[in-house]
């Protein structure tokens, strides 16, 4: 079996499963935010949750509250957490963007099954967990029972070899892959990442790649745990103390895959995804002359320390173009503090950027970076659909943090 099939079999109490089977599986952790959580809470009514220590509630999308309606959403989340004594509720000031926060808090372990009412829950596959997004009604049912119905996905094996060029990151690898597969090329499949390049990739790079698996239509993205994974898990917060036992799975050598693709990374250059799809990718050097109004560095895709250090490397000693606004969003409070201690925040502010509290904000056109009609933004986020960051006639271009920073300096899309 593949690593995905092994995890699902274990959580269904089965010795084995096959792609296409429907199973009922036990979930290790459930996740909701200030948009999806209130919908699930409404479905629950007065029923009790199956385990208040296996649910995480993170108000991160429209927080700090942008208006009265978003404040009401967050109030519902907080009152529910208080009523049911939810252990892992993270208020503003202690929260972060959910998919960066939960691994940082030690709430995700290899071999686990994580269900979240957010499409980018697949991020946790970087740690060797099966993680997938569901709707709020499915989440409500899982909150009651601790179990979820799933169809076992087929797996696609993706092998990356060669040596990465300068300024090429995990973001470029996944953009290139989505460009190759298409936005539905991995529809309801597991994207399984392998190869010498992957074995040397940092955890931050792996989180980025797993995060965007859903942009190819995948049910989940997953990496096999190795020494880098286990070192990361051991270094995280003691919040994981109640779940120290975990199992690391690996795919069998004779596992069956729907498809196997290989990529020579020495040929991959820094990528940009042009609107309106993440699959509309090409090398930055071939993007053409595109002026920008805004650059965003952050999100659950690229708001971690490695991302901020990369941006600071490009921005140090330079000034942002006078007609460009650069918004930098550390993904968690811990990352924000570390960036401050390392002097990165000073570099950003001296360059002319604004640094905000952790929030999803501009990624979904929510707040703190909404685009006007005709404006163009380059962002380290994960989606560039029509109207994604604001006005329907605005445009979003996706790239890595170094490209976003260099573009903010030049006022047009470029690479360092």
Question: What mean pLDDT comes out for the span 287-300?
Answer: 97
> Domain boundary residue among 229, 262, 295?
262
- Do 21 and 102 lie in one domain? The reply is yes
Res 241 pLDDT > 80: no
- The verdict on 13 and 113 lying in the same domain is yes
Looking at the structure, tell me whether residues 230 and 353 fall in a common domain: no
Q: How far, CA to CA in Å, does 299 sit from each of 91, 282, 308?
A: 18, 22, 11
Give me the residue label for tokens 């699959």. 279
The pLDDT score that the predictor gives to residue 238 is 63
Residues 13 and 149 in one domain: yes
Residue 370, domain member (yes or no): yes
Look at residue 37 in the predicted model and tell me its pLDDT. Answer: 97
Query: Contact 347/312 with Cβ under 8 angstroms?
Result: yes
Task: Check whether residue 258 and residue 277 sit in a common domain.
Answer: no
pLDDT of residue 78: 97
The total number of structural domains in the chain stands at 2
Residue 415 lies in a domain: no
**Residue 246, domain member (yes or no):** no
The percentage of the chain sitting over the pLDDT mark of 90, rounded to a whole number, equals: 96
What pLDDT is stored for residue 370 in this prediction? Answer: 97
pLDDT > 70: percent of the chain: 98
Kindly state whether residues 17 and 97 are assigned to the same domain.
yes
Classify burial at 276, counting beta carbons within 10 Å of its beta carbon; exposed 0-12, middle 13-18, buried 19 or more.
Answer: middle
Cα–chain-centroid distance for residue 120? 5
In a domain, 248, yes or no: no
- How many whole angstroms separate alpha carbon 244 and alpha carbon 324? 46
Q: Tokens 């709707």 belong to which residue? A: 135
Q: Tell me, what's the pLDDT at 325?
A: 98
Q: What's the rounded mean pLDDT across residues 28-33?
A: 97
Residue 245 within any structural domain of the chain: no
Domain limit, last residue, from 231, 262, 293: 262
φ/ψ region of 319 (left if φ > 0, alpha if ψ in -120 to 50, else beta) reads beta
List for the chain the helix, strand, coil content (%; round to 5).
Answer: 40, 20, 40
0.75 cut: is pTM over it?
Answer: yes
The reply to whether 321 and 258 lie within a common domain is: no
In degrees rounded to 5, what are phi and psi of residue 48? -85, 150
Residues 70 and 109 in one domain: yes
Residue-level pLDDT at 130:
98
84 and 173 housed in the same domain = yes
Residues 176 and 284 in one domain: no
User: Is the domain of 303 the same as that of 225?
Assistant: no
| Whole-number average pLDDT of the chain | 96
Q: Is pLDDT at 21 greater than 60 in this prediction?
A: yes
CATH number (domain holding residue 350)? 3.30.499.10
Which tens digits make up the pLDDT trace of 100-146? 999 999 999 999 999 999 999 999 999 999 999 999 999 999 999 99
Domain that holds residue 131: 3-240+254-262
**pLDDT score of 243 more than 90:** no
Residues 63 and 125 in one domain: yes
Q: Name, in order, each residue with C-beta under 8 angstroms of 34's C-beta and a sequence gap of 6 or more.
A: 58, 59, 60, 61, 62, 63, 70, 73, 74, 77
**pLDDT for position 40:** 96
pLDDT score for 151? 98
């Amino acid at each position: 079996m593949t690593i995905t099939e092994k995890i699902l079999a274990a959580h269904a109490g089965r010795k084995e499963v096959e792609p296409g089977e429907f199973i009922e599986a036990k979930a290790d952790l459930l996740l909701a935010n200030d948009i999806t959580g209130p919908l699930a809470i409404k479905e629950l009514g007065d029923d009790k949750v199956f385990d208040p220590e296996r649910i995480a509630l993170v108000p991160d999308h429209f927080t700090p509250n942008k208006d009265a309606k978003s404040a009401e959403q967050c109030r519902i989340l907080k009152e529910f957490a208080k009523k049911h004594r939810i252990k892992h509720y993270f208020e503003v000031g202690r929260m972060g963007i959910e998919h960066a926060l939960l691994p940082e808090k030690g709430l995700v372990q290899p071999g686990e099954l994580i269900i979240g009412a957010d499409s980018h829950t697949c991020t946790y596959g970087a740690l060797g967990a099966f993680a997938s997004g569901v709707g709020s009604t499915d989440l409500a049912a899982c909150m009651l029972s601790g179990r979820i119905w799933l169809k076992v996905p087929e797996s696609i094996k993706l092998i990356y070899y060669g040596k990465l060029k300068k300024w090429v990151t995990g973001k470029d690898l996944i953009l290139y892959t989505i460009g190759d597969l298409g936005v539905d090329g991995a529809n309801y499949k597991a994207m399984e990442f392998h190869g010498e390049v992957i074995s040397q990739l940092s955890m931050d790079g792996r989180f980025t790649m797993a995060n965007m698996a859903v942009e190819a239509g995948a049910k989940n993205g997953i990496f096999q745990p190795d020494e880098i994974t286990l070192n990361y898990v051991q270094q995280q917060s003691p919040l994981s103390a109640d779940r120290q036992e975990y199992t690391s799975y690996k795919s069998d050598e004779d596992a069956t895959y729907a498809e196997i693709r290989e990529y020579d990374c020495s040929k991959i250059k820094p990528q940009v995804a042009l609107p309106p799809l993440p699959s509309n990718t090409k090398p930055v050097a071939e993007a053409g002359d595109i002026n920008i109004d805004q650059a965003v560095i952050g999100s659950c895709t690229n708001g971690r320390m490695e991302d901020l250090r990369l941006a600071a490397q490009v921005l140090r000693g330079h000034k942002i173009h006078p007609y460009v606004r650069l918004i930098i969003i550390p993904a968690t409070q811990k990352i924000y503090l570390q960036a401050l201690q390392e002097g990165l925040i000073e570099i950003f502010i001296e360059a002319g950027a604004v640094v905000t509290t952790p929030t999803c904000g501009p990624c979904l056109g929510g707040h703190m970076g909404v685009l006007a009609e005709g404006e163009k933004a380059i962002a380290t986020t994960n989606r560039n659909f029509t109207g994604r960051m604001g006005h329907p006639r605005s445009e979003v271009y996706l790239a890595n943090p170094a490209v976003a920073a260099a573009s903010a300096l030049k006022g047009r899309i470029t690479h360092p």
